[in-house]
A and B are shown apart, each in its own frame.
Chain A
Amino acid sequence: MTQRINLIVVLILVALFSLLSYELWFSEPTKRESSLIGRPMPTFQLPNLYAPEEILTEKNFKGDTILINVWATWCTACRMEHQQLMEIKRSGIPIYSINYKDDPQSAIDWLKSNGNPYRLTAMDRSGDVIIDFGVYGTPETFVVHRGQIVYRHIGVITPKDWQDTLRPLIIELRRSS
């Protein structure tokens, strides 16, 4: 009887310790699946960066499989990502963007001197639309397939992220459709 009790106690302890060590070393609290996955892209009405009188909506973000990148010139991590975005543009995948809480002129200057990877850039100066996308911060990138959000990448897209995760995902989406 006592032996069985001992065994149960040991098992409970082992379970607790494995849970704790998992949380301590392997869990990634910053990686959260967006609750928008599998749902249609949120609707929005935002001015075009290059023509503020023109209002862009989600319908302007055309393409079968597209990326939507959220960025700002004040966001240093976005600078690190820029070359990778240019690279993605060269591979032929359309990237659209939402410029977040930024000064339009500095955004234009920035794209002029570093290259513009985006087909269209919508300006969200108040940050309202960003909330509808459930964005945590810049940079953040959504993979949208036929108007539906398929994947969300938080933070800089490193060459490794692109090669290992995003590129295969987009190839798969294109093949299945």
Chain B
Amino acid sequence: MSSRIFWIIVWLFLSCQSLYAEGTDLYSFDNPLQAERFHQLTKSFRCVVCQNQSLADSNAPLAQDLREKIYQLVGADKSDQEIELFLVERYGDYVLFKPRFTSKTIVLWLFPLGGILIAFWMVFRFFIRPYFNPSF
């Protein structure tokens, strides 16, 4: 009797697993590489109608449409760059989570570096130099 319950439990666990797999694999791909690219790409684009959600995370109708579009483009063997360009042409740089390095975004990219340099300079100026030169 107890072994039967055990097998029922095992069976229940297994059936849960298969349901779960069906839930995530809405899109079928020719090869696992395409599936991986699809997941990476949908994570790297912003859902433009919802603030701070990626296309992969969002259930907004537009995000669903764009996932479908990316799925088609991946299936048509378009490169990541081509897909990125496709979306940027239509939705602008805003669609990218990782901004491109352009004249407009140069401040954005270099600001942290500048901040670190200033921090180093301040540490040197106010902590290290006075330590060696107490009269200052």
A: residues with CB less than 8 A from B are 29, 32-36, 101, 127-128, 130-137
Q: Provide the residues of chain B in CB contact with A135, threshold 8 Å.
A: 62
Interface Cβ pair total, 8 Å cutoff: 34
Measured between beta carbons, the chain B residues less than 8 angstroms from A127 are 65
Q: Is B92 positioned at the interface, with any CB of A under 8 Å from its CB?
A: yes
A131 and B51 in contact (CB under 8 A), knowing A136-B62, A137-B62?
no
Query: Is B49 part of the contact surface with A, judged by Cβ < 8 Å?
Result: yes
**Can you name 9 A-B pairs with beta carbons within 8 Å?**
A35-B90, A35-B91, A35-B92, A36-B90, A101-B61, A127-B65, A130-B65, A134-B91, A137-B61
Of chain B, the residue at the smallest CB distance from A42 is: B90
Query: Does chain A have a CB within 8 A of B25?
Result: no
- Chain A contacts of B90 at CB under 8 A? 35-36, 131-134
Task: Write the chain A residue with the least CB distance to B88.
Answer: A35
Asked if B129 is at the interface (CB within 8 A of a chain A CB), the reply is no
Docked CA distance A56–B61 (Å): 25
Q: Which 10 residue pairs are nearest across A and B when measured between Cβ atoms?
A: A35-B92, A134-B90, A127-B65, A134-B91, A136-B49, A131-B69, A137-B49, A136-B48, A131-B90, A32-B94
In the complex, A127 Cα to B69 Cα: how many Å? 10
Chain B contacts for A35, CB-based, 8 A? 88-93
Judged by a CB distance under 8 angstroms, whether B35 is at the interface is: no
Interface pair B92/A134, CB less than 8 Å apart: yes
Bound CA–CA A134/B86 (angstroms): 10
Residues of A with C-beta under 8 A to B94: 32
Q: Which residues of A contact B83 (CB under 8 A)?
A: none
Indicate the member of B49, B51, B90, B93 with the most A CB atoms within 10 Å: B90
CB distance from B38 to the nearest CB of A (A): 17
Instruction: Say whether A29 contacts B48, CB under 8 Å.
Output: no
By a CB distance below 8 angstroms, the chain B residues around A29 are 51
CA distance A36 to B93 in the complex (A): 12
CA distance A102 to B88 in the complex (A): 27
List chain A residues, Cβ under 8 A from B65: 127, 130-131
- Bound Cα distance from A32 to B46, whole angstroms: 14
Q: What's the least CB distance linking B133 to chain A, in Å? A: 14
> Measured between C-beta atoms, what is the minimum distance from B51 to chain A in Å?
7
Cα separation A133 to B65 with both chains bound (whole Å): 13
Tell me whether B49 and A32 are in contact (CB under 8 A): no
Closest to A30 in B: B49
